Chain A
Amino acid sequence: MKQSTETSSSDETNLTLDESRFDVSSKVIHTDRFMTWFIKLGGVLVVAAVVAIFVFITSQVLPLFKGASVDLPGATTTENALPPGDYLGIAADEWMEKPFAVRDDGKIIFADLVNGELTESELDYLEGGNLSTVSIESGEGLIVAGTAAGKVHLVEYSYAPTFKDGVRTVNENLEVVFTGEFEGSIRKVSCGQSGNSRLIAVLTETESGPKLFLDLVQRKKSLISAGDWKEVGKLDLSESLRKGIGVQDIMVTNRADSVLVVFDNGEIDYYFRSGSGLDTELRQTFRPFQDQDIQKIARADFLLGDVSLVLSSDAGVNRIFSLYRSESDPIRKFHQTKEFPPLYDSPAYYSPSFRNKSFLTGTSNTATLRYATTQAIRWESELPWEVSHALISKKSDALLFLTKDLRFVRIPVDDPHPEAGMKAFFGKILYEGSPESKYEWQSTGGSDDFESKLSLIPLIFGTLKGTLYAMLFAVPVALFGAIYTAEFLDPKNKAFIKPAMEIMASLPSVVLGFLAALWLAPVIENRVPSVLCAIILVPLGALLFGTIWSRQPKSIKRHIKEGYEFLYFAPVMLLLLFIGWHLGPLVESILFTVKDSETGTRTGDFSRWWPAITGTAYEQRNSLVVGFMMGFAVIPIVFTIAEDSLSNVPDSLRTGSLALGASRWQCAWTIVLPTASAGILSAIMIGLGRAVGETMIVVMATGNTPIMEWNLFSGMRTLSANIAVELPEAPHHSTLYRTLFLGAVVLFLMTFLVNTVAEVLRQHLREKYKTV
């Protein structure tokens, strides 16, 4: 007795027995200790690893919700101030290492931010006179300079990086490509480019008042050379200017398809140029700050893509107007789409991002980085300098300011995911070009100025839609099947039915998806009425058959043993399915007829009837197909768990109720089912969990369009399918990549929640049985 306690509790080391043969060998003790330690550590690690999945995925998502980080203390300032003078505009290279400023005497001064050198361009293009205005089109590398003498010069600039020993040196290149002459002294210029033509808008001041010109220049490009820019047309728009109202600014879009004229009184004229010539029409006149006391527009600038206009009033009110076709008006016009919190004062500068829909603006001593789509302020701060010009770098990784004391300041910016945010993922957003705000998923587009639409709502909706239709189909089959199996089925049959169902649970979903898409969808496509007929006929037939059968005298009933009903009903069901299948076309020709607009005859065609009646699409790979196949994937799981919980109801309850005279159905329905209800609920929940996460069936059997309608005959895009389709193509750590991770987190949480509830219910049920 004593030995046994001692050996069993091997932790005790003070073995004081005389007989050492009872000693546990130290090897055993050490092995035991080691294994205890090893298993504990290993076990904890495995469990921790399992938990770590969630932590890791979440960690990948978190950067999405961070604002821009602008490193003010890490700013690089040029040592030497630029030579004194009036500077009209700034621009920089892709790496923002060698920005330049254009001085009013026409000199272009480059400041090397790496070694602090200042270089003045040799370029001599002004024949006397000073520059009166400069507009720099950074996207095209073009300086448009107007002089008081009435000349407009187009100066192209470019940077050529050379690499030597891994160190980059940037060399600039300047070239005057065109000079035009206009009446009066130039006040404002703007230029846009489409292909090999450029549209220059010029505002001049003459003795007879302001004048507005549109100048079209073109070049003939050959294989050998780029060709020279030549003026091909000039249009005088001066008549459209208002008498007595000054023009504040003019703007040509980068694409050169529209011209905006901003007036002093806060009005904007929107001209549209159609074709490649100079045909322009006034499309719209609007007042962006009509409702404000101060209506004067301080700045009007385009966002990347030229669809949206960022406007600030003299009082600092900051709004975005976008072009869209409204329902009542088929012409694209500007309408207000966004309003940002106001700036502190009239803005001093503006710069759009060249990568996304963010822009930099601010008063002379504040700066704010804002993202248009989500109406989010990414960063806002007071500046330690007085600022006159600002620029976002081409890569959106730095900000450049020209201070009033004529120094360039470059500030590193880290804002990798400006388009992200709670609002982007879950909010309704008024996207560019759309007349109403909506939830939309469209992660990639054809062009660089594409506005990414990252709403997860359509995907969550699609997930729920697919799940709903799958469950609608799966739950009755699985539950009634389970009730029958647990309560009425001959136990001998159960031995093969349950394993059969369990094996079905393991059918790879890729197989089901393939069958859904390539076999079921084409079969069902033209046979929807047949399917509907079968759905109605078979259950009714079962009830009817059961009723008739139960009324038969015992001598007949004796032929079918109780517990074999399902087997005997099979041929009846086949017959009913057959009838339903062939009844379909008949029903279709009576109920689902559409009138042919040409011949006027009515033909039965469900695939045309449905869109005509409901106004929604009818697709071959639709939710009916997905619901059916996904239901098929879910049935075995729900069936198995439900059947288990029904079978586990103690037999005493059953026998008691039967002894009291209940029929077998009454016993099952009123006694067993309520007792096992928690288990059944958990079965449904677990089925739900599987349907929510099902991937391959949805990928294969739907069109994967992220639409938001409950239409049974259209497809959907689920969270899981979305990940499977887009993640392989998403660049590592891009916004899309992280957003897809967010989708995974949502999916994880959804299933984890559902499964936990199911698990708790099941445990609850277990406790309940213990007491019965």
Chain B
Amino acid sequence: MNALSSPKVPKTKGRGEPMVWFTGMWLSFGLLMILVLLTIIVKNGLSTFWPSPVLQIELVENSDAKLRGSTTLAGDVKKEQIRTTAGESGEPVPEIQLFTGNREAYNTGFRYVVESDITSREYPKDIIRAERLEYGDMIGYPVRIEFADETRLESTSKEFPEALRRMVKEANERRDKIEHIEKDLIGAINRSMEKIKLNRRGWDKAESIPEKDRLQMDAEQAGLQKEYEKLASEARELRNLQNANRLIYRIPTGDERTVATGSVVDYYYPNRLNIFQRVFRFFARIIHFIFEDPREANTEGGIFPAIFGTFVMTILMSVVVVPFGVLAAIYLREYAKQGPVVRAVRIAVNNLAGVPSIVFGVFGLGFFVYFMGGSIDSLLFSERLPTPTFGTGGVIWASLTLALMTVPVVIVSTEEALVAVPRGVREASLAAGASKWQTIQRIVLPASLPGIITGLILAMARGAGEVAPLMLVGVVKLAPTLPLDTIAPFVHLERKFMHLGFHIYDLGFQSPDSEAAKPMVFATTLLLIGLVIALNAAAIIIRERLRRKYKTGAF
């Protein structure tokens, strides 16, 4: 009894508690990092769309932040920070970053202003913020509209807001029309011309050309040319109209400037909006962002082609990866003789999931693009050579490359799901007279479907977020056409495409003005990680369900 009640026993109880806290610290550090990262992305991503009020400030005469010699500045506050760089005696200096817009006038879109330089702040009601086709946003005061017939409408007049609204609306409609003419109608003519050209090239090789055909083709070509000219002049007229009416505005630094109403995409009075209007505008901008084409070297407008490209590529990849992955998994688990060979294969397949994605990109470029694509070109599209059709990067090769990269993911998760199907169920099926394939088809596969879907979703998430291999096999910064459209044969597997991940890389690193591109990058990032996280969360939820359903085996 004495020995048991020796003081040693209670003493050990608390030993190592600091270490528990120490390990706890690392976990909380990890979680904190995740939180910080997500916060940054979400905050910056969403603030891109928020129509924040425009602040107008007066600066002291000797401020460094003066623009064009004026002490008045206006813009929306992007950042408030304390600068402590080794400057004047290392004093912390509070400063704000203003997005001033009017890039063509200021040569910069952003301005840092030291707080102590500011003498007054106000939010002028009349200030207007307009999204333009060129030079980013305009921030200024409307002065008047000059119409094509040289009549004027001052901004003080009652009709002014209505007139401006109407003109921008008309301009937008006209822009759609021009786009329709240039992209769809003239595009169709160009395609016909291209076809004739290719035919001719084929003839040149064949030597003997029936005179009749040649004449017919000449006539056709002339007809197309005529039609093209008609459409082109129509578009030109519309374009002239776009520049006919002009909006005169005064930028906060004092100068009056002119913009054709045709190049104003949208405008609003940022300081007149109430909270509901702000929220409405916020969502409207998100929708624009998702459904519009990019402008100005991708730094403005939307990212629809990138979303669509990512979508098409991921779907194509899934279509390839699922049958092959499932087939291989069924073979390995149900048909192959379990032994050292299969175990080695399994290890190899597992490891392949860990092989760097860039290696798959290298393989894709060498095998799919150059070897397979090159072969297809010389067999089927030899008349277009040396311009490659399939022998260059394209959505099909990108999908196949990513399919190869993600096939181990599908194999592994399908195998796990197959193992998890209880033996009893199989045996019952066999006992009831089903053949092996019938058992697999009707019993095993349906039961392991959630596992297969998990694998597929994980593969999709990995595929959607991967960039490095795509850079080698067909992704581009700006694709003029989508891989799916209304022109026969509707699916254009050989086309290059845009991708959300590559869009981020390209905008953040290849664009000339990375500061101006930042909001777009953050917004795109938010969208991409939203997509990837949603896919992964779905996979995890399905897996948890599956786990609860069978409660056997370890995943």
A7 in contact (CB, < 8 A): yes
Looking at the assembled complex, report how far the CB atom of B221 sits from the nearest CB atom of chain A, in whole angstroms. Answer: 27
Interface contact B435-A514, CB-CB below 8 Å = no
| Chain B minimum-CB-distance residue to A6 | B433
Interface contact A511-B331, CB-CB below 8 Å = no
Interface residues of A in 1-44 (CB under 8 A from B): 3-4, 7-8, 10, 24, 28-29, 31-32, 35-36, 39-40, 42-44
Looking at the assembled complex, report how far the CB atom of B374 sits from the nearest CB atom of chain A, in whole angstroms. Answer: 9
User: Within 8 Å CB of B471, what residues of A?
Assistant: 724, 728
Q: Which of A517, A648, A727 contacts B362 (CB 8 A)?
A: A727
User: Within 8 Å CB of A481, what residues of B?
Assistant: 23, 26-27, 29-30
Please measure, in the bound complex, the distance between the C-alpha atom of A408 and the C-alpha atom of B29, giving whole angstroms: 77
B437 in contact (CB, < 8 A): yes
Interface contact B24-A542, CB-CB below 8 Å = yes
Please measure, in the bound complex, the distance between the C-alpha atom of A513 and the C-alpha atom of B404, giving whole angstroms: 24
Interface contact A40-B351, CB-CB below 8 Å = no
Interface contact B345-A47, CB-CB below 8 Å = yes
Interface contact B20-A546, CB-CB below 8 Å = yes
B311 in contact (CB, < 8 A): no
Instruction: Classify the secondary structure of A's interface with B.
Output: helix
Please measure, in the bound complex, the distance between the C-alpha atom of A4 and the C-alpha atom of B361, giving whole angstroms: 51
Asked whether A484 and B26 contact (CB < 8 A) given A10-B436, A53-B404, A759-B351, the answer is yes
For B455-469 the 0/1 string (1 means CB < 8 A from A) is 000100110111110
User: Within 8 Å CB of A483, what residues of B?
Assistant: 23
B192 in contact (CB, < 8 A): no
Asked whether A50 and B349 contact (CB < 8 A) given A29-B435, A488-B23, A723-B361, the answer is yes
Interface contact B366-A569, CB-CB below 8 Å = no
| Chain A minimum-CB-distance residue to B540 | A499
Interface contact A695-B468, CB-CB below 8 Å = yes
Interface contact B348-A50, CB-CB below 8 Å = yes
Spot the interface stretch: A244-252, A380-388, A438-446, A661-669: A661-669
A578 in contact (CB, < 8 A): no
A585 in contact (CB, < 8 A): yes
User: Within 8 Å CB of B188, what residues of A?
Assistant: none
Spot the interface stretch: B31-39, B100-108, B270-278, B375-383: B31-39
User: Within 8 Å CB of B324, what residues of A?
Assistant: 42, 46
User: Within 8 Å CB of B24, what residues of A?
Assistant: 484, 488, 542, 565-566, 569
B297 in contact (CB, < 8 A): no
Q: Which of B336, B465, B472 contacts A728 (CB 8 A)?
A: B472
Interface contact A693-B18, CB-CB below 8 Å = no
B21 in contact (CB, < 8 A): yes
User: Within 8 Å CB of B467, what residues of A?
Assistant: 508-510, 695-696
Asked whether A669 and B16 contact (CB < 8 A) given A36-B437, A51-B348, A693-B357, the answer is yes
| Chain B minimum-CB-distance residue to A511 | B525
Spot the interface stretch: A88-96, A327-335, A746-754: A746-754
Q: Which of A39, A57, A502, A727 contacts B331 (CB 8 A)?
A: A39
Interface contact B31-A497, CB-CB below 8 Å = yes
B109 in contact (CB, < 8 A): no
A215 in contact (CB, < 8 A): no
Interface contact B37-A759, CB-CB below 8 Å = no
Interface contact A603-B435, CB-CB below 8 Å = no
Please measure, in the bound complex, the distance between the C-alpha atom of A589 and the C-alpha atom of B89, giving whole angstroms: 11
Asked whether A566 and B28 contact (CB < 8 A) given A511-B525, A517-B508, the answer is yes
User: Within 8 Å CB of A696, what residues of B?
Assistant: 467-468, 501, 505
Interface contact B509-A632, CB-CB below 8 Å = no
User: Within 8 Å CB of A479, what residues of B?
Assistant: 26
B532 in contact (CB, < 8 A): yes
B480 in contact (CB, < 8 A): no
Interface residues of A in 682-706 (CB under 8 A from B): 686, 689-690, 692-696, 699-700
Please measure, in the bound complex, the distance between the C-alpha atom of A49 and the C-alpha atom of B328, giving whole angstroms: 11
Please measure, in the bound complex, the distance between the C-alpha atom of A694 and the C-alpha atom of B32, giving whole angstroms: 23
Please measure, in the bound complex, the distance between the C-alpha atom of A186 and the C-alpha atom of B374, giving whole angstroms: 58
Interface residues of A in 470-506 (CB under 8 A from B): 476-481, 483-485, 488-489, 497, 499-504, 506
Interface contact A566-B25, CB-CB below 8 Å = yes
Q: Which of A32, A519, A666, A728 contacts B40 (CB 8 A)?
A: A519
Interface contact A690-B331, CB-CB below 8 Å = no
Interface residues of B in 85-122 (CB under 8 A from A): 85-86, 90
Instruction: Classify the secondary structure of B's interface with A.
Output: helix
Q: Which of A526, A566, A686, A690 contacts B27 (CB 8 A)?
A: A566
Please measure, in the bound complex, the distance between the C-alpha atom of A44 and the C-alpha atom of B458, giving whole angstroms: 24
B431 in contact (CB, < 8 A): yes
For A506-524 the 0/1 string (1 means CB < 8 A from B) is 1111110111011100000
Q: Which of A506, A570, A740 contacts B536 (CB 8 A)?
A: A506
B358 in contact (CB, < 8 A): yes
Please measure, in the bound complex, the distance between the C-alpha atom of A700 and the C-alpha atom of B525, giving whole angstroms: 15
For B76-87 the 0/1 string (1 means CB < 8 A from A) is 000000001110
Interface contact B19-A669, CB-CB below 8 Å = yes
Interface contact A663-B431, CB-CB below 8 Å = no
| Chain A minimum-CB-distance residue to B440 | A35
A543 in contact (CB, < 8 A): yes
Please measure, in the bound complex, the distance between the C-alpha atom of A499 and the C-alpha atom of B539, giving whole angstroms: 10
Say which size band chain A's interface belongs to: 35 or more
Interface contact A741-B366, CB-CB below 8 Å = yes
Give the residue among B9, B12, B366, B509 with the most A Cβ atoms within 10 A.
B366
Interface contact A517-B328, CB-CB below 8 Å = no
Interface contact A507-B465, CB-CB below 8 Å = yes
Asked whether A56 and B359 contact (CB < 8 A) given A508-B528, A695-B468, the answer is no
Interface contact B349-A477, CB-CB below 8 Å = no
A545 in contact (CB, < 8 A): yes
User: Within 8 Å CB of A648, what residues of B?
Assistant: 554
A422 in contact (CB, < 8 A): no
Asked whether A46 and B327 contact (CB < 8 A) given A4-B431, A569-B21, A696-B468, the answer is yes
Interface contact B359-A508, CB-CB below 8 Å = no
A635 in contact (CB, < 8 A): yes
Q: Which of B18, B404, B433, B462 contacts A546 (CB 8 A)?
A: B18
A539 in contact (CB, < 8 A): yes
A639 in contact (CB, < 8 A): yes
Please measure, in the bound complex, the distance between the C-alpha atom of A508 and the C-alpha atom of B362, giving whole angstroms: 19
User: Within 8 Å CB of A664, what residues of B?
Assistant: 16, 20
User: Within 8 Å CB of B501, what residues of A?
Assistant: 508, 510-511, 696
A437 in contact (CB, < 8 A): no
Interface contact A755-B529, CB-CB below 8 Å = no
Q: Which of A485, A567, A661, A744 contacts B358 (CB 8 A)?
A: A744
User: Within 8 Å CB of B332, what residues of A?
Assistant: 43, 47
A616 in contact (CB, < 8 A): no
Interface contact B532-A666, CB-CB below 8 Å = no
Looking at the assembled complex, report how far the CB atom of A725 sits from the nearest CB atom of chain B, in whole angstroms. Answer: 9
Give the residue among B34, B41, B407 with the most A Cβ atoms within 10 A.
B34
Interface contact B465-A741, CB-CB below 8 Å = no
Asked whether A40 and B331 contact (CB < 8 A) given A51-B348, A573-B25, the answer is yes
| Chain B minimum-CB-distance residue to A476 | B26
Interface contact A666-B12, CB-CB below 8 Å = yes
Interface contact A663-B528, CB-CB below 8 Å = no
Please measure, in the bound complex, the distance between the C-alpha atom of A246 and the C-alpha atom of B12, giving whole angstroms: 97
A558 in contact (CB, < 8 A): no
Interface contact B505-A542, CB-CB below 8 Å = no
User: Within 8 Å CB of B348, what residues of A?
Assistant: 47, 50-51
B365 in contact (CB, < 8 A): yes
A604 in contact (CB, < 8 A): yes
A549 in contact (CB, < 8 A): yes
A190 in contact (CB, < 8 A): no
User: Within 8 Å CB of B509, what residues of A?
Assistant: 517, 700
Q: Can you spell out 17 A-B residue pairs with CB atoms less than 8 angstroms apart?
A: A7-B433, A47-B349, A480-B23, A506-B535, A507-B465, A510-B501, A518-B508, A550-B17, A566-B24, A566-B25, A644-B554, A693-B355, A695-B468, A696-B505, A700-B508, A724-B468, A744-B363
List the 9 shortest-distance A-B pairs measured between CB atoms, nearest first.
A43-B331, A693-B356, A665-B16, A546-B21, A508-B465, A546-B18, A550-B17, A480-B26, A542-B25
Other than the given A7-B435, A502-B536, A503-B536, 8 more pairs (CB < 8 A) read A4-B431, A46-B407, A476-B26, A510-B501, A538-B25, A550-B17, A569-B25, A690-B354
